[in-house]
Structure 1
Amino acid sequence: MPNQVTAPPMRQAQHALRLDLVRSEKASVHLITFVVAAVSTILITRAYLALTGYPKIGGDSGLHVAHVLPGGLLMLASIVLSFSYVGRGPRPIAALLGGVGFGLFIDEVGKFVTADNNYFFEPAAAIIYVVFAALVVGAHAWRRHRPLTDEEKVANAAHVLVDGLAGRLPDRRRQEMLATLESMGDVRGARQLHELLLSVEPRTPALPQHLERLWQRVPEGFDRIAESRFAAPVLGALFALQALGALIVAVGLWRTGTSYAVIMSGVLAGTATSLVFVVLGLRRGRAGDRRSALDWFQRAALTSLLLTQVFLFTASQFAATAGLVVDLMLLGLVATSRARVRR
């Protein structure tokens, strides 16, 4: 009897707390745009300030307009753009503006975590890195463990139809969505959306679609490598480059003295762990278990991303940025290869 009384209110509470969010199939593409724009903005900003002697906007008047302020305005523009227009058109531009704005914002994190507003606070680089690493890895794990449902795919098709009805749907995107709907069979709404998309007249892609297509070529390139006979050599070369770069930095730190002992230990520990995972992956690959081998390779790349590069960022931002690029390439290639194995 008590369960009969309390069950309906509990179900009502669960329903009230549920957000009913529908995931976008282009989320990873927009995330790449956001991260690349943010990281590029940080590097360009730091390089510009170093070359110009760290000027202050406002001069000697006592005022200083920190670049966190235009960063906030760009993020505001991204948010306003996202909820002011329907369809997919504004998404690539919003991701670009938001990435640049967030890069300007997070670049000054040292001022917000120190009592003396120290822009040159050394651990700030590691904080910046951890934020981006957590964003990329969290999104990757979320999509991997929860692929889009059929209902979400239909909802994405309906979103694409909005662009078609407004006369702003490129033919390539239209053909992609038609093929997706055809493969879904009798899922509710798929057939009706297919008929509506057939009646839509495609248009020449606008600038946002060109930007989206540019980033779409990244996973397409990974897919071409994964299906070629060069997949294993490319993986091996990237892992070797990753380990060699980390060891070179570790040796450089060792020569500077004992002040970097903790950082050097972290770099060596992360590199050693990644190499162990690579060896285990090679053993599984030779045994014929390709899926398990790729799982170990993915663990090796994630270990480098979340451990080795964090310590590297504290010592050398530019070396860690190069390592970050290599790790992202490894994760992309491994993820594509795992998807092919599953298919």
Structure 2
Amino acid sequence: MMKERQLLVRNFEAGSYLESFLVAAVASVLVIRLFLRLTGYPQIGGGGLHIAHMLWGGVLMLASIIVLLSFLSREARQIAAVAGGVGFGTFIDEVGKFVTSDHDYFFQPAVSMIYVTFILIFLAIRAIHRNRTYTPAEYLANALQEVQQAVLHDLDAEERKRALLFLRRSDAAHPLASALRGALVILDAVRPPTRAGLFAFLKQQVRSFYHHVAGLRWFPFLVIGFFVAQLVVKLVYVFIIIFLIGLGWEQTLSVRVIGSVAERMLHLSFVAWAEIASSLLSGACVLCGVVLMRRSRLSALKWFERSILVSIFLTQVFAFYQEQFSALLGLFLNVAVLLALRFMIERERTAVIESVATDPV
């Protein structure tokens, strides 16, 4: 009896690529708007011609598709994710011109349209990977993808362990599963001694340093302290931008400042309320991470990552319309923290894999 063919097979690493796409898209919108504001909204072209920057976005999205269709490595997928994200952000930044009869780039609801678009993309990504029950075929396909690294680069120990774990959860009766196990045995036996390049050496040094630091007793407290401090700074920043600067220094220094703050709360704009709400949501994610740190470091780090993603996708977008420069600085800091968190999550996930799966071959 012929097996039913699975049309769409999920990539276990897709979440990382899609988050890179979204972060690049949000960052490009904010950077473009800041650049245009600082330079007085210049126009590229002349003689009645104007080259809209959405066209450059289309070029970048096309380039990302070409990279995806032409190359097979993880690096190619990461490059395509970032290039596609920058292209999409550059494209959607000009949505105001195409929903108004007078091509108004400054059409105020355009901000909400961009925001809703990013949220819908994020929800669609989560919906695709929400079902954690992967099929045996998906495990086998992802194991094959791990073994592919042996052809493109050296198959390191972590990739080998992931491949073995995926093979255990695939259909053991499938002829390709046994062939891949045999290939892993051969690769391990005949792997020639190679001199690590500079990048591989630095990566190994960073991994070793993290494993050393992560084993120290004070490391969880350091992580918790960092994110709690970041949350406090974020809430103070939002309060200063919305209330103190919004009120003006005369009312801020007045003895009636509490009454002035309460009155201002009654007249806050949608953007201000959204910034406050997203900051509180980010804080709730941090609180979940703090509670889970003792039980599961991996789960705690994932909640901290969600906190940073909320800040990037929501808080920074709204903060940009309150104070551009500080919002852009906050964006870059959040992206840096996100990259560090991804590294830490990958290290912890690898540790979980090593504890769950011993090497059977």
Per-residue deviation, 1:105 = 0.8
Report the Cα distance in structure 2 between the residues aligned to 1:310 and 1:124, rounded to whole angstroms: 12
Report the Cα distance in structure 2 between the residues aligned to 1:103 and 1:117, rounded to whole angstroms: 18
Report the Cα distance in structure 1 between the residues aligned to 2:292 and 2:146, rounded to whole angstroms: 41
1:312 matched to 2:331: no
1:178 matched to 2:160: yes
In the alignment, what sits opposite 1:77? 63
Kindly report the root-mean-square deviation, in angstroms, between the aligned alpha carbons of the 2 structures: 4.9
When residues 311 and 41 of structure 1 are mapped into structure 2, their CA distance, relative to the original with a 3 A threshold, is: closer
Report the Cα distance in structure 1 between the residues aligned to 2:146 and 2:285, rounded to whole angstroms: 42
Counterpart among 137, 142, 146 of residue 156 in structure 1: 142
Paired AA for residue 241 in structure 1? V
Report the Cα distance in structure 2 between the residues aligned to 1:56 and 1:268, rounded to whole angstroms: 35
Per-residue deviation, 1:115 = 2.5
Counterpart among 15, 18, 22 of residue 9 in structure 2: 22
Per-residue deviation, 1:260 = 5.0
Report the Cα distance in structure 1 between the residues aligned to 2:303 and 2:186, rounded to whole angstroms: 47
Paired AA for residue 83 in structure 2? L
The answer to whether the 8 Å contact 2:147/2:160 transfers is no
In the alignment, what sits opposite 2:253? none
Paired AA for residue 263 in structure 1? V
Give the 5 Å matches for 1:257-296: 260-271=268-279
Paired AA for residue 22 in structure 2? V
Identity %: 35
In the alignment, what sits opposite 2:252? none
Report the Cα distance in structure 2 between the residues aligned to 1:53 and 1:261, rounded to whole angstroms: 26
When residues 70 and 265 of structure 1 are mapped into structure 2, their CA distance, relative to the original with a 3 A threshold, is: closer
The answer to whether the 8 Å contact 1:242/1:326 transfers is no
The answer to whether the 8 Å contact 1:123/1:314 transfers is no
In the alignment, what sits opposite 2:239? 247
Paired AA for residue 312 in structure 1? A
Counterpart among 29, 37, 41 of residue 28 in structure 2: 41
Report the Cα distance in structure 2 between the residues aligned to 1:53 and 1:336, rounded to whole angstroms: 42
The answer to whether the 8 Å contact 1:125/1:314 transfers is no
Instruction: Name whichever of 240-249 and 324-333 sits farther off.
Output: 324-333
TM-score, normalisation: structure 2: 0.64
In the alignment, what sits opposite 1:192? 179
Secondary structure at the aligned position of 2:117 is classed as: helix
Report the Cα distance in structure 2 between the residues aligned to 1:246 and 1:152, rounded to whole angstroms: 44
Instruction: Name whichever of 108-117 and 266-275 sits farther off.
Output: 266-275
Gaps of 5+ in 2: 249-263, 357-361
When residues 149 and 324 of structure 1 are mapped into structure 2, their CA distance, relative to the original with a 3 A threshold, is: farther
Per-residue deviation, 1:30 = 1.9
The answer to whether the 8 Å contact 1:72/1:101 transfers is yes
Report the Cα distance in structure 2 between the residues aligned to 1:319 and 1:122, rounded to whole angstroms: 21
Report the Cα distance in structure 1 between the residues aligned to 2:74 and 2:289, rounded to whole angstroms: 40
Report the Cα distance in structure 1 between the residues aligned to 2:7 and 2:328, rounded to whole angstroms: 37
When residues 123 and 313 of structure 1 are mapped into structure 2, their CA distance, relative to the original with a 3 A threshold, is: farther
Per-residue deviation, 1:104 = 1.7
Instruction: Name whichever of 236-245 and 183-192 sits farther off.
Output: 183-192
Report the Cα distance in structure 2 between the residues aligned to 1:332 and 1:306, rounded to whole angstroms: 18
Per-residue deviation, 1:47 = 3.9
When residues 69 and 285 of structure 1 are mapped into structure 2, their CA distance, relative to the original with a 3 A threshold, is: closer
